[in-house]
Structure 1
Amino acid sequence: MDVSEKDGENGSLTWHPGRRVFWKQVKPITFWPALVGILLVLAITIVDERHFIAITSAINAAIIEHLSALFLYSALGLLVLCVCVLFSPFARTRIGGVDATPIYSPFRWFAVSLTTVIAMGILFWAVAEPVVHFNEPPSFSGLQPGSEGARTFALAATFVHWTLAPYAIYTIAGLTFALGFYNFGHDFSVGTLLRPLLGNHLRARVAESIDGLVLFAVVVGMSAVLSAGLLLIGDGLDFLFAIPGSPTVYASTAMFIVAVALLSAGSGLRRGIQILARINTVLFLVLMFYLFAAGPTAFLLEQGARSLADFLGNFFSRQLLLAEPPESHWSGWWTTAFYASWFAWAPLSCLFLGKIARGYTVRQFILVNLFLPSVFGVLWFTVFGGAALFFDGQSGGDMYAVYRESGLAAMAYRLFEFLPGSTLLGVVFIFGCFISFITATDSNTDAIGGLCMQSVTAEHMGSPFGVKLLWGTVIGIVGWCSATFLGADGIKMLSNLAGLPGVLIILGAGMSLVVMMWRSGRD
């Protein structure tokens, strides 16, 4: 039987006579347990929603109670490692060797990397998180809700969750994989992150088992983010067209997102993904500049500078929440939950980030994947979060009231009502939501496809469309279930659960990078 599949970096169609359908080519230890595990979670969610929530809540509480420090200190340690690598001689190393040519131009590379990592998170949380912190500062901070100090804290806390340390997680993982895959010829596998550290002790079946664990965790994580997007888009449709959110609306939205993402994934690295990423990046910039110009510009400049100074001046205490007493669970519900989400995505996303980095140096990789996205994050959250804080204060807590009555997702559309052209803004915002998750789904289904297959190499990086179709469909179904049955709190719990195996793998990747640097210094 002849089977067509994408082959090479361009994603051009290639025919392979005699090849069997894709499930005959998969890594069995990676593919089947992950698929069965996801279907089991899906069945439990549908059949016994309350029992599922009870189980996940108990595990989530245990993670917050006992492992918050692991997430916080690990993220900070990876950031320190990034800085050390940046200023080391190792930073001159070219990914793929001295003669390697880039897959993307610098701007396209940055656009694809940025939109792959942030997905829909900045759209969902940019307005909601600062307003909640402003009105509900942690008790240990000693700040009064709605005070100027609470406003500064709100934006500074958001910077902790969305700049520097979170991006360091992806940077270390992506860099370790890129060097292992291109420079050392290791497999297209999460095991490549651990190969320099463990060497021959990492046997093939163990590596495939790790791939399966990561596959399960990331599909759960992607489904959680998709469910957040469905809630956000559903509130937008209600805001613009009076179409209330419902299981039918969420299902239709999920089907559209996954279908377009799969069409893009089927066109290869040089076509769909980079076009979507550029549209996405330009759209982000247009939204940000409009809000800055039409909103409270002077306030945004002043509040942004004050919060940034607070964030940098109290960096370690903010990062590690040293002032938080043991009995407080604030960091567990906020900082740990966000970092768990970053760690959950990193082992798979790093395969894609490393895959598209060929031809650039280690120093350029760190700049594009750590520092530039962090700068973008500061600007984005200053504009959206700062505007939300301003109008919440001016209206006597109107933004916060929307959160209490309608949930986190509805807050962005209430913000637009304070600005000229609110309807058009809402339309553009919804379009941005679609493009954001389509871009992330495209890149991650590409990585999932490669992770499942036995024959992906640096020369032939494509994977069959059938495996992408299967996992894209699974992600859409689980995301719909999460949006319909679990809501925003359930989304946070799913991210926490998926982050636990991720943090252990990324810490191993950091140690592998240290080993590569040490060996390079000896040569």
Structure 2
Amino acid sequence: MQNSDDRGLDPGVFWPALIVAAGFVGWGVLSPDSLASTSTAVLNWIIRAFGWSFVVSTAFFLAFAVFLAFSRFGRIKLGHDDEKPEFSTISWVCMMFSVGMGIGLMFWGVAEPIKHFGSPPHGLAVPQSREAALVAMQYAYFHWALHPWAIYAVVGLALAYFSYRRDLPTLISSAFHPLLGDRIHGPIGRTIDALAIIATLFGTATSLGLGAQQINSGMNFLWSTGESSTISLTIIGVLTVVFIMSAVSGVGKGIQFLSNMNMIIALILLAFLALVGPTVFIMDTLIEALGLYISDLVAMSFRTSAFSDGKWLASWPIFYWAWWISWAPFVGVFIARISRGRTIREFVIGVLLIPSAVTFVWFTIMGGTALYSELVGPGGLVEAINAKGEAVSLFALLEQYPMAVFTSSVAMFLVAIFFVSGADAASVVMGMLSSRGTAHPRPGIVVLWGLLAGASASVLLVMGGLNGLQTASIIAAAPFLVVMVGLCVSLWKGLMDDIEVHGHFENLDPHTGGVREDHL
């Protein structure tokens, strides 16, 4: 068990990560053009040389998580044998969904299906046709359902297992104990944790940038404020203060309350669209698009640039896989923290299937309603996105239905709350990673990482808008992808060691996940 005296700031993790983060912000402030050109060059090299690795690794993470859930490892409890889950299942699902996806779903729920409808992936359909609409939903499911949650599940599972069953600190480096032993406390382990902080910082910054752009579009829709970098930067500044205040209040008071509240509001907004929108078309779309997604899942999972559009792959699946990977340290730490006491099987099924089911419903209602508008009327969403950008898509859709001002205000409020809850959790987790895994990092450290996340989002918006946000995600995720592959190897070794120590699988109690008393 970790000694409480060892839970202060870890200089070997904190200072390298801080230097990189502060250096990036300083570079962006002093010479944004130089930062933009360098980032673009690095991005092009990563995509050209290692784009395939994102594709293969993400498919592997999904297969690995499913195998662990349905193997006899699934009985093992993420904690001591007599522990019960801290949070109810409903709160557990709401918190991990809100933190893991929130802003992204609000931003892309309408925009992605419409983008694919106007320009179908890999030329699989005639643009703006019924076939294009079906392909658009299929690929929206592909980018947002099982694959991203498998990335989160692998990291969260490893952290929960080593932290709560092996009583190691809640750090990414702790998951490497079977491979590194006590060296997890040395330079190698500290490098792993510093990379996790950097990935988290830029993944968070990407989400904050998207949220600020969408709130700006909503303000312009409601009050004709105009859309500009200045307004977006002001939004980031105001909400950064709010999420820092939430972060220092603790998980029970801050994140849990916000997550439960915004999930309720989001479901009300979805129900409104489902009822006033094309209800039958939405149900038909869900059934047919889900069937197509399942039937083509393997082929989509392994598509590379060898025989496909490399530019499209970089802009969509590789960007998404990188974004999820850059979020994986903080979402993994967070869902591990709220999942103590659950079995591996319960954890994986919950993390993979429940959020994915909500994602299917979300995109079907949001995207399906938008596609119906394009196919039947009044349309205009493709032109709105092409003219004003993806951030305007949700408000352009809501404008076509009753109470547009009210629903747009609700949507803008939702984006703001998702902004706060996601950044809240990220700031706490970065504080944990730089403070030897303590569940309650010092408020000053949490505030510092929150400020740097907001500053990084501001730099990325000025540097290149959406393209700048995508570039940062992929670059930050590349080194952490290597860490994640090693983490899977280490988790496998740790589980095998657990079985060797406790005896055969049959000795595990299927109800508690622990060793049956008659086999001790």
TM over 0.5: yes
- Equivalent residue for 2:518? none
| Counterpart residue number, 2:462 | 484
Aligned to 2:513: none
- Residue among 361, 376, 385 paired with 1:403: 385
Q: Name the stretch that deviates more: 103-112 or 430-439.
A: 103-112
Question: What corresponds to 1:98 in structure 2?
Answer: 81
Residue equivalent to 2:515:
none
2:189 to 204, 207, 216: 207
| Residue 121, structure 1, aligned to residue 121, structure 2 | no
Deviations 1:249-299 (A, max 9, x none): 223322232222222222222211111110121122111111111111111
Residue 372 of structure 1 deviates from its aligned partner by 0.3
55-64 vs 377-386, which moves further: 55-64
Q: Given that residues 246 and 484 in structure 1 are in contact (C-alpha distance below 8 angstroms), is that contact kept between their aligned partners in structure 2? A: no
Of 366, 390, 395, the match for 2:372: 390
Report deviation, 1:57: 1.2
Written as runs of structure 1 = structure 2, the 5 A alignment for 1:304-453 is 304-321=286-303, 325=307, 328-395=310-377, 398-453=380-435
Among 234, 239, 243, the residue aligned to 1:252: 234
Alignment CA distance shift 1:171-1:360 (3 Å)? same
Alpha-carbon distance in structure 1 between the residues aligned to 2:265 and 2:194: 35
Report what 1:273 is aligned to.
255
Letter in 1 for 2:430: I
AA matched with 1:130: P
The 1-side partners of 2:402 and 2:278 are apart by: 12
Match of residue 64 from structure 1: 47
Deviation track 1:151-197 (CA, whole Å, cap 9, x = no partner) reads 11111011110001110000011011001011112222210222223
Asked whether the equivalents of residues 346 and 502 of structure 1 are also in contact (C-alpha less than 8 Å), the reply is: no
CA-CA distance at 1:118 after TM superposition: 0.7
Would you say the 8 A contact 2:199–2:329 is kept in 1? no
Which of 495, 498, 501 pairs up with 1:517? 495
State the one-letter code of the partner of 2:472. Answer: L
Match of residue 205, structure 2, among 223, 226, 229: 223
Q: Judging changes above 3 Å, is the alpha-carbon distance between structure 1 residues 302 and 494 closer, same or farther for their aligned structure 2 residues?
A: same
Alignment map for 1:47-62 (pairs within 5 Å): 47-62=30-45
Whole-Å Cα distance in 2 between the matches of residues 304 and 386 of structure 1?
8
Shift of 1:387: 1.1
More deviation, 303-312/391-400: 391-400
Number of equivalenced pairs: 498
Post-superposition offset of 1:203:
4.8
Given that 1:155 and 1:385 are in contact with CA atoms closer than 8 Å, whether structure 2 keeps it comes out as yes
Q: Which amino acid aligns with 1:317?
A: A
Q: Which amino acid aligns with 1:363?
A: R
Cα deviation 1:286-338 (Å, max 9, x = unaligned): 11111111111111111222211111111111222269615633212210010
* Inter-partner Cα distance in structure 2 for 1:263 and 1:43: 25
Counterpart code for 2:70: F
Q: Which amino acid letter does the alignment assign opposite residue 334 of structure 2? A: F
How many Å separate the matches in 2 of 1:379 and 1:360? 26
TM-score w.r.t. the length of structure 2 is: 0.92
Aligned runs of 1:272-291 on 2, under 5 Å?
Answer: 272-291=254-273
Match of 2:155 in 1: 173
Equivalent residue in structure 1 for 2:17, among 34, 37, 42: 34
Kept after mapping to 1: 8 A contact 2:202/2:473: yes
Which whole-Å CA distance do the structure 2 matches of 1:83 and 1:327 have between them?
30
Question: Alignment partner of 1:97: what SS?
Answer: coil
- The aligned amino acid for 1:226 is L
SS of residue paired to 2:332: helix
Identity within the alignment, %: 27
> What does residue 76 of structure 1 align with?
59
Q: Which runs of 5+ in 2 are unaligned?
A: 504-520
Structure 2 Cα separation of the partners of residues 371 and 198 of structure 1: 33
Kept after mapping to 1: 8 A contact 2:92/2:339: yes
Match of 1:137 among 101, 110, 120: 120
- 1:345, 1:502 within 8 Å by CA — same for their partners in 2? no
